[in-house]
Structure 1
Amino acid sequence: MNYLEAYLIAYKSELWGTLISIGLLFLLKFIIAKTIRKVGKISDLNEVRTRLIIKYVSIGLSGFGIVALIIIWGVDFSELGVLLSSVFAVIGVALFAQWSMLSNVTAGVILFFSFPFKIGDRIKILDKEIVEKEDEERETYVIEDIRAFHLHLRNAKGELVTYPNNLMLQKAVALIDTYERSHEGSEVL
């Protein structure tokens, strides 16, 4: 019996578990991506936002797949613990330094599924910090783009303002006019 046959016999259950896990992972990725695309289409969301959310979910599922493979192959957690504690210490410091970015990405995922506004809508952000000193009325903005970390808003003066996603969840935002309603009655060529 050669080395390959001995290896296949010795690790038969682990190899089958790996194949099944990888197959389930790809099936889950396919089903979830299809569901997210359907939600994006039903909600009339931008295709770029939909692909971004699919990418986030795919990364998360890959992480679960790696954990499943570690369990299947019976990696010794005491040895793995030293390695992981060192890695998580470095990642923890990096995430603490980038906490704002992480909260904006998380807010971007939340906004994808529950955001009542779309690109082209006119909104008013009810935040006292945005009000200009000489102007007592709050300014209205048109949503030009919704990205992973922030929104692109255009004010009446034509200035482009970037507004963090996490603040869209924390501040009150009023919908002034939807894109569909503002273009009602206009003919499309």
Structure 2
Amino acid sequence: MMVQIGLIALLVVAYVIVSRILKSSVTLLGQKKYANEVRITYVSKMLNLGFTAIFVLLVCLVLGIGYGQLAIFFSSVFAVVGVALFAQWSILSNITASLIIFFGFPYRVGDWVKVVDKDDEILGQITEISSFHVIIHRLSGDVVTYPNSLILQKAVVRFENRESALAMSQFVAHDTLPDKVEEQRTTS
């Protein structure tokens, strides 16, 4: 019994330390990527939720709860959650894509991008990367909310600045472009 109490105390200390390290690491990464403060908090909470589930599983194992009992419990929970989320599959995929974008998306807020889509030109500046959408302000002034799961599936072109984006636009009258950009178009 004393060994179990000691192991649980050790797990609690490790949980507190690792969760603080996890939170500070996500905060530093978010600041490095110029992520919105709300987004940093959201990603931190999602990762902390997963870490808490692992902690509870480890505590149950230390207390001597059998693998079979844990497997039945967790499979029941996942079945209920799975049925609930199946109807909202796009929401789940956008949340997952949101985490992938946070850690691996090569574009940041403020970048000029073009999402390669044959039906429409989505060219503009990223103004926000939220939990479900990437918000892009187009050159025309329109706002596009592009789902996270779709932006991971499409090719995205990043431009150095607004002038470069203007030069690549299909829909901007090129005679209204600044001379410098027009020169770049004719030389390339």
TM-score by length of structure 1 reads 0.76
Please name the residue that 2:113 is paired with: 123
Distance in 2 of aligned mates of 1:34 and 1:65: 19
Instruction: Verify: 1:165 aligned to 2:148, yes or no.
Output: yes
Q: Give matches, 1:74-153, under 5 Å.
A: 74-129=64-119, 131=120, 138-153=121-136
1:98 is aligned with what amino acid?
A: Q
Once superposed, what is the RMSD of the aligned Cα atoms? 2.3
Post-superposition CA distance 1:20-74 (Å, at most 9, x none) = 1111011111112222222223333333322222111111110101101110111
Cα deviation for residue 80 of structure 1 reads 4.4
Q: Look up the match of 2:6.
A: 16
RCO higher in 1 or 2 (8 Å CA, sep ≥ 6)? 1
- Which deviates more from structure 2 when the two are superposed, residues 50-59 or residues 34-43? 34-43
2:158 matched residue in structure 1: 175
Shift of 1:98: 2.3
1:186 aligns with none
The 1:139–1:84 alpha-carbon spacing in structure 2 relative to 1, beyond 3 Å, is: closer
Distance change (3 Å), C-alpha of 1:116 and 1:83 = closer
Alpha-carbon distance, 1:174 to partner: 0.9
- How far has the Cα of 1:82 moved from its partner? 4.1
Classify 1:36/1:82 alpha carbon distance in 2 versus 1 (closer, same or farther; 3 Å). closer
Question: Which residue of the other structure, out of 36, 40, 43, is the alignment partner of 2:30?
Answer: 40
Cα distance, 1:88 vs. partner?
2.4
> Does the alignment pair 1:154 with 2:137?
yes
In structure 1, stretches of 5+ residues that fail to align are 1-10, 132-137, 183-189
Q: How many residues are matched?
A: 164
